[in-house]
Structure 1
């Protein structure tokens, strides 16, 4: 087991100091210990091309044992020792689009958004496509997804993944997400903004590259970008529609502060709803499923810890996913646009 002293020596000092300012010591240490874990490979079965049972049997025949994830039938965890992403990427199931290698925490924002067949959905920062393809599968390839990416190289990866995964309802476009709201005001039933961020939730003690380029200034620059993107996402959302804002970072500046800014800016036009998973049903999913806070031991209310009183009470409806042996660090907020 990696000691806290080892973590203190390796992770950026400013990052560690800020953790202890933002959170009670026990919670800060839980976050740090989660960054010492070697997480298993996880994947999502692509329902547009296969079923979980068929994929599990195919992988078993190729020497890869998996186990199901209780809260999401399409998610599988690889349990065969020594099997990592590179091995999985060589398998026909990956090459032919029956699976997508995706972290468990990354699967949560589309589930909280809960897009329905026939709806118009905006994925404002879509590349490389994990969540776009997941939403298309949840919608049964019925409806429309506008998938935006500013970087041309990342856009190419997005287009490739859409093709491999058999997605036919998504239009991938090269665009600055901050301009989409002006170009498509009120056009979308649901919007996913999985925002660019400082990536603190991805820090791993054993992978120095995961935190090598982190700076405190970078956090502030990301927070400013996130506000611009959220304003654009909000403008693109129709009245009555739902927006999910998510990041893979720990920083309050990129999470609670951004949500509090939205509540202040839009006032009674925005409702911050509880984060739930869709309820399973014979036909697929239904709204009103279990709360993330009740379902996942890694989930804590946003605003937990030092300075929590600085936020509106509604901020606690958002959820922080703490890094753990199973999960990356994530933040998820679900906002509804009122008339």
Structure 2
């Protein structure tokens, strides 16, 4: 790989004797990784069913390396939201932010959603998960990943952080700032980034970072924690940005981090500083670990700074239609009737503890439940992905090794006449699933199992090996595929 000479010269100056080893790492192929969605299963559970060989990533409990020759994104489990394809080092920032159930969490520069989905998984459907990206087009990709992962408490926004701080001063318990950067750490993975680096350089991004980190600091509660990260080596964008924060906002400290072998320390001397706490920063080097270049730091805001009181979200009473009420009663979810919101025909269930959001550019406000249409309720794709198989009564379970799993994801009609075994209740269903797993001879050619329901217009939750994919609707003419067309497997 031919690296920009200016970049090489700077890295040689910084690394000294380590430079040749660093340079040699660019001859190695970058490592590919996936991160398991803990809203749906544990890393241990996934290791049993993984569609390809995997090895654990040392700095996170639910991240795994896989061979780049494999294509886990071409498996139905990916479309069930069981994992996210993510560069291994990029898993570190969200892993370090110790989110607790009930926290209010902000991901400032969130697209395409790799870090937001992990933070949301830590919340486990509680608290508030605010994911923001200033780019509206990138925020749409973020929204899809949030909904694919089954996040029940999302607030997806596309705003400049300068405007965001007006709505959320000292609101968040935890904040992640994965800042826009010059991308030096990604040159090996994506050489095209070098052109962007040569065009914009370090200073352009450093000015953005300084503004963003101060806005984030103002949105953090006293006593709260913030992670700042980049995928670059530049001291100006890393230790320099942290020094800028410490000089411009009172009450912040750089927290020590327990680190695994190979993760390096911060270098205050690279920015002419003698502040020892900057050594608590983490530097990820591609010649020391199996991952790309990253910088990560954990910051704490003093509890003595002061607090701001909030006016709560202005909820209005929503009168559910009989059809919506009947459908929601079939779900094993304890809904708070005061947290529904109806916009046009769309019904949402909002997180608890929101402030007034009037005027914000919002892409998703809470969990989109479905559409209240005349004389019917149509559940959403987002709701399907947010459920567990035990949350709903009517189930169509497709086995991942059958062609019907891909047919469903391609929005094609499923032939229910031959390849599906029907059963009358959940007990019989569980027995058949166990028989399939045990490799029983009479289950070999079975595409799936259907909980029998002969009432017209019944909604079925379609699952793959027990993990929800979307909806289908039973009628006299068979099972209508209701998978979201915009998510169709191409």
Task: State the partner residue of 1:143.
Answer: 127
Q: 1:231 aligns with which of 199, 205, 214?
A: 214
Larger of the two Rg values belongs to structure? 2
Q: How does 1:1-339 map to 2 (within 5 A)?
A: 7=1, 10-21=2-13, 23-59=14-50, 62=51, 64-79=52-67, 82-83=69-70, 87-204=71-188, 207-215=190-198, 217-267=200-250, 269-275=251-257, 291-292=258-259, 295-297=260-262, 299-303=263-267, 307=270, 309-324=272-287, 326-338=290-302, 339=304
- Specify the SS of the correspondent of 2:197: coil
- Specify the SS of the correspondent of 2:182: coil
Structure-2 separation of matches of 1:170 and 1:30: 43
Structure-2 separation of matches of 1:243 and 1:72: 18
**How far off is 1:55 after superposition?**
2.5
* More helix per residue: 1
TM-score by length of 1: 0.84
Segments of 5+ residues of structure 1 without an aligned counterpart are 1-6, 276-290
TM-score by length of 2: 0.59
Check conservation: 2:59, 2:95, Cα contact below 8 A.
no
**How far off is 1:246 after superposition?**
0.5
**How far off is 1:253 after superposition?**
1.1
Check conservation: 1:197, 1:254, Cα contact below 8 A.
yes
- Specify the SS of the correspondent of 1:57: helix
Segments of 5+ residues of structure 2 without an aligned counterpart are 305-490
Structure-2 separation of matches of 1:336 and 1:148: 21
Aligned residues between the structures: 302
Structure-2 separation of matches of 1:151 and 1:127: 8
- Specify the SS of the correspondent of 2:180: coil
Check conservation: 1:34, 1:322, Cα contact below 8 A.
no
Structure-2 separation of matches of 1:218 and 1:66: 37
Larger RCO (alpha carbons 8 Å, 6+ apart): 1
Check conservation: 2:239, 2:271, Cα contact below 8 A.
no
Check conservation: 2:206, 2:241, Cα contact below 8 A.
yes
**How far off is 1:113 after superposition?**
1.3
- Specify the SS of the correspondent of 1:215: helix
Structure-2 separation of matches of 1:307 and 1:330: 16
Structure-1 separation of matches of 2:79 and 2:105: 27
